């Protein structure tokens, strides 16, 4: 197993990436290829007196900035850590590629560089998150902001395969995000998608509303990439706001402060349960290769988990399964 | 001041509505008109040995169910509590109408019954919610799920007037919900709306992302009604999920339980701060009359606050201000 990871991508790259890579190399024993400027990456690795010898560096002379326009960066920076990482999958030198860098650039680079799976018209970013009933996923959260109903059907089929072969769910339920449960609710796009899903062989649970996204009511929640991206960031924003408010409330009351210290282990478990980034990253479904997009603010542990996830996709031949499922429709 | 309220609307109507009306009648002294089945409402009121004599009943023989199709209900149930309440504003017998009933039916009934303000093409539901920096608002959260860019410009102008004349904000900032801060980010609809807002005299702060909706970064957040409705319900869902998780975590640890009890006053303040329903309801902006849509699960206190809000709209002549603002553009 050989996993490539973008050494230059993320808000605190390359430090955080290198830390995650060292953890993963020790824990899993895979060959791990850090992609990026070799001088910088060597210097980062040298912070460790001794690091596992299953870590390799693949030089890439350019870096795509987090706020750079994706299409332009892909065209102009042929030697970016993202482009080189994608190339490593294409040539078979790596089994998966992980990046916490510019999401748009990863989507663009992977789509152009690897092509799409037979039958797929557009890739979709799937996030996997914890709920009361185990993990669920939402597709798409930003790769395709103006999709056709057919694209969402494909996301449904890919999500279904992901649930079966990666999450080991027997008969995953697929929900369509809308503003009411009735088939008549929503935009024309949602209504047409509803019809397609209903006619499919998927275990379609109908429309679900915003309040049910994070309760685990469905295993897969489908939506267009604009709505999915907004929902994801709203959830992140609320998480951050609640943490901040709790801290300020507690700071103002000595009694609450003592109480909070006593409750801390319970709260830490809660935060861990809610921290979807711990799942490791968001698979880019539909491209012909195992690509995982991690959050820009990923911790070393999250990146370590993303590396594990990439290996799982290879082990379970996720893309082969997806192609089989798509062909059977 | 004479405020009408839908006695039959809401998940726990008429009990909760009657309780809110009694509180409001005592606290504010306005004339309050309960609209609905007079036998049922009289029986509810009779739970109080003595209730304020500034409470009146206006009979309405029909009720629109919470899940009824709005257009059909408006056409068929001419004597619903919603239709009769709207008629009371139209005839000048009430200064505002509040309903916690079927949102779609209220929007439909108010739009057809009262007409729109000059210059407005579509009404918008505005929710007002607490943030770190005082209250903010989001328009639209479900009245208009497939708007034109011009509709969002109008929502911006109406939200600006609301902030100035109801919330007493001097130079409210207007943000457009998108998937990135750059003007180039988002769907064609968002990009066109961005352009219109930029060319307007509004204090346009540009695009904002989902994570900034609830932080108070902007006084007014604009979006289409589909996205707004999903965001609102996601926020509600997360709030509910966190409460449930906290409770279960705390239940499993005696130490956490004691700690939680000690921290309780701080948490209660937090929940109160976060409970946007306490603001009382969502104004339906753009219709020619003061209409407030309350949450189906509103508490008596939330409905009392909605009644206060309705009176404020009348006192501050909100709609007159909105028309002046629209005309000046």
pLDDT value of residue A33: 98
DSSP-derived 3-state class of residue A267: helix
How many A/B residue pairs have CB atoms within 8 Å? 189
A9 vs B271 pLDDT, higher one = A9
Q: What does the alpha-carbon distance between residue B132 and residue B212 come to, in Å, rounded to a whole number?
A: 11
Q: What percent of chain B has pLDDT over 70?
A: 90
Distance, in angstroms, between A7 CA and closest chain B CA?
A: 24
CA distance A325 to chain B (A): 30
- Band (A271; pLDDT cuts 50, 70, 90): low
What is the mean pLDDT of the segment spanning A210-225?
Answer: 94
Task: Indicate if A129 and A249 belong to the same structural domain.
Answer: yes
Beta strands in B197-253 (DSSP E): 204-208, 220-222
Tokens of A276: 């979807």
State whether residue B34 is helix, strand or coil.
strand
Residues B207 and B269 reside in one and the same domain: yes
Interface test with B, best of A130, A194, A233 (most B CBs within 10 A): A233
Q: Which of B132, B187, B234 sits opposite A234 (nearest CB)?
A: B234
State the pLDDT at residue B274: 54
Residue A47 has pLDDT above 90, yes or no: yes
Residues facing B206 on adjacent strands: B175
pLDDT, averaged across chain A:
91
Question: Is the pLDDT higher at B210 or at A133?
Answer: B210
B103 inside 8 A of chain A by CB: no
Question: Could A245 and B274 be called an inter-chain contact, meaning their C-beta atoms sit closer than 8 Å?
Answer: yes
DSSP letters of B301-325? HHHHHHHHHHHHHHHTTHHHHHHHH
Q: Which two tokens stand for residue A206?
A: 């109908």
* Percent of residues, chain B, with pLDDT higher than 90: 77
Q: Which residue has the higher pLDDT, A24 or B256?
A: A24
* Residue B144 near residue B151 (C-beta atoms within 8 A): yes
A138, A224, A268, B79, B178 from A145: Cα distances, Å: 14, 6, 35, 43, 11
Determine, for residues A240 and B274 on separate chains, whether the beta-carbon distance falls below 8 Å.
no
Pair B303, B320 in one domain:
yes
Question: Among the three residues B277, B297, B317, which one is the final residue of a domain in this structure?
Answer: B277
Task: Reply yes or no on whether the pLDDT at B270 is more than 60.
Answer: no
Is B126 or B262 the better-scoring residue by pLDDT? Answer: B126
Q: Which of A3-12, A240-249, B88-97 has the lowest mean pLDDT?
A: A240-249
Q: What's the pLDDT band for A237 if we cut at 50, 70, 90?
A: confident
Q: A212 at the B interface (CB within 8 A)?
A: yes
How are strands ordered across the β-sheet holding B282-285?
B55-59, B31-36, B2-6, B96-99, B291-293, B282-285, B124-131, B134-139, B220-222, B174-177, B204-208
Tell me: pLDDT of B291 over 60.
yes
Of A219-233, A312-326, B270-284, the one with minimum mean pLDDT is B270-284
**B207 and B166 within one domain:** yes
Q: What is the mean pLDDT of chain B?
A: 91
Chain A residues near residue B136 by CB distance under 8 angstroms: none
Tell me, yes or no, if A264 comes closer than 8 A to chain B by beta carbon: yes
Domain shared by A153 and A207, yes or no: yes
pLDDT reported for residue A243: 72
Determine the Cα–Cα distance for residues B164 and B161; give it in Å rounded to an integer. Answer: 5
The domain of B112 spans 1-120+286-329
Q: Are residues A259 and A232 in the same domain?
A: yes
Nearest residue of chain B to residue A183 (CA atoms): B69
Whether residue B81 is found in the same domain as residue B60: yes
Q: What is the pLDDT of residues A122-157, one digit of tens each?
A: 999 999 988 878 889 999 999 999 999 999 999 999
Share of chain A above pLDDT 90, in %: 77
Q: Which of A23-37, B56-70, B274-288 has the lowest mean pLDDT?
A: B274-288
Cβ–Cβ under 8 Å, residues B176 and B194: yes
Residue A312 CA to residue A68 CA, distance in Å, equals 31
Residue B132 scores a pLDDT above 70: yes
Average pLDDT for B305-325: 95
Q: In chain B, which ranges are E strands?
A: 2-6, 31-36, 55-59, 96-99, 124-131, 134-139, 174-177, 204-208, 220-222, 282-285, 291-293
Cα nearest neighbour of A145 on chain B: B187
pLDDT value of residue A313: 95
pLDDT digits (tens, 9 = 90+) for A64-89: 998 898 889 999 999 999 999 999 99
Q: State the total domains in chain B.
A: 2
* Residue from the list B226, B237, B264 with its beta carbon closest to the beta carbon of A214: B237
Name the least confident of A167-171, A230-234, A264-268: A264-268
State the Cα torsion B62-B63-B67-B72 to the nearest 10°: 30
pLDDT, tens digit, 9 for 90 and up, residues B61-119: 999 998 898 889 999 999 999 999 999 999 999 999 999 999 999 999 999 999 999 99
pLDDT > 70 in chain A, percent:
90
Residue-wise pLDDT for B36-67, tens only, equals 999 999 999 999 999 999 999 999 999 999 88
Look at residue B223 in the predicted model and tell me its pLDDT: 98
Q: What is the pLDDT of residue B205?
A: 98
- Tell me what pLDDT residue A260 has: 65
Mean pLDDT across A85-102: 98
Given this model, what pLDDT does residue B17 score?
A: 97
Spell out which residues of chain B touch residue A250, defining contact as CB-CB under 8 Å: 263, 266
pLDDT band at B260 (very low <50, low <70, confident <90, very high): low
Which among A270, A307, A259, A327 has a CA at the least distance from the CA of A97? A307
Task: Answer yes or no: is pLDDT of B258 > 80.
Answer: no
Q: Are residues B180 and B302 in the same domain?
A: no
Asked if residue A136 and residue A248 are part of one domain, the reply reads: yes
The whole-angstrom distance between B63's CA and the closest CA on chain A is 20
- Bin A191: left if φ > 0, else alpha if -120 < ψ < 50, else beta: alpha
Q: Residue B261: pLDDT above 70?
A: no
| The two structure tokens encoding residue A294 | 């991690």
Q: Does position B271 have pLDDT exceeding 70, yes or no?
A: no
Q: B249 and B139 in one domain?
A: yes
Judge if A141 and A95 occupy the same domain. Answer: no
> What's the pLDDT score for residue B329?
77
Judged against a pLDDT cut of 60, whether residue A296 lies above it is answered with yes
Q: Which of B257, B277, B297 is the last residue of a domain?
A: B277
How close, in Å, is residue B54 to chain A by CA atoms? 38
Same domain, B144 and B18: no
Q: What pLDDT score does B259 carry?
A: 64
Closest to A128 (Cα-Cα) out of A285, A304, A290, A320: A285
Write the CATH number for B249: 3.40.718.10
Distance in Å, alpha carbon of B169 to nearest chain A alpha carbon: 23
Instruction: State the alpha helices, DSSP H only, in chain A.
Output: 15-28, 38-45, 70-76, 81-90, 103-114, 149-165, 188-199, 225-251, 254-274, 300-315, 318-327
φ, ψ of residue B99 in degrees (nearest 5): -140, 135
CA dist A204 and A222 (Å) reads 11
Q: Of B249, B277, B305, which one is at a domain's C-terminal end?
A: B277
């Amino acid at each position: 197993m050989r996993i490539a990871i973008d050494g230059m991508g993320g808000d605190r790259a390359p430090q955080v990436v290198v830390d995650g890579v060292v953890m993963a190399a020790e824990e899993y024993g895979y060959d791990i290829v850090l992609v990026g400027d070799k001088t910088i990456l060597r210097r980062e690795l040298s912070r460790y007196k001794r690091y596992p010898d299953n870590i390799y560096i693949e030089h890439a002379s350019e870096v795509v900035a987090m706020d750079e326009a994706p299409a332009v960066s892909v065209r102009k920076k042929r030697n970016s850590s993202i482009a080189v990482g994608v190339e490593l999958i294409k040539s078979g030198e790596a089994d998966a590629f992980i990046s916490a860098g510019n999401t748009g650039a990863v989507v663009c680079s992977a789509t152009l560089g690897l092509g799409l799976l037979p039958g797929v018209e557009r890739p979709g970013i799937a996030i996997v998150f914890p709920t009361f009933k185990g993990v669920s996923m939402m597709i798409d959260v930003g790769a395709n902001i103006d999709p056709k109903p057919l694209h969402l059907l494909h996301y449904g089929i890919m999500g279904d395969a992901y649930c079966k072969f990666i999450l080991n769910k027997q008969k995953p339920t697929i929900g369509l995000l809308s503003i009411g449960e009735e088939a008549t609710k929503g935009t024309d796009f949602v209504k047409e998608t509803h019809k397609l899903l209903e006619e499919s062989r998927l275990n379609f649970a109908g429309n679900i509303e915003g309040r049910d996204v994070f309760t685990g009511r469905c295993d897969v929640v489908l939506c267009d990439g604009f709505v999915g991206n907004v929902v994801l960031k709203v959830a992140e924003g609320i998480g951050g706001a609640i943490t901040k408010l709790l801290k300020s409330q507690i700071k103002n009351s000595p009694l609450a402060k003592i109480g909070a210290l006593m409750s801390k282990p319970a709260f830490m478990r809660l935060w861990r349960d809610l921290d979807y980034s711990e799942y490791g990253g968001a698979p880019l479904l539909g491209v012909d290769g195992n690509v995982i997009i991690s959050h820009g603010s990923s911790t070393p542990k999250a990146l370590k988990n993303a590396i594990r996830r990439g290996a799982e996709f290879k082990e379970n031949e996720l893309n082969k399964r997806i192609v089989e499922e798509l062909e059977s429709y």
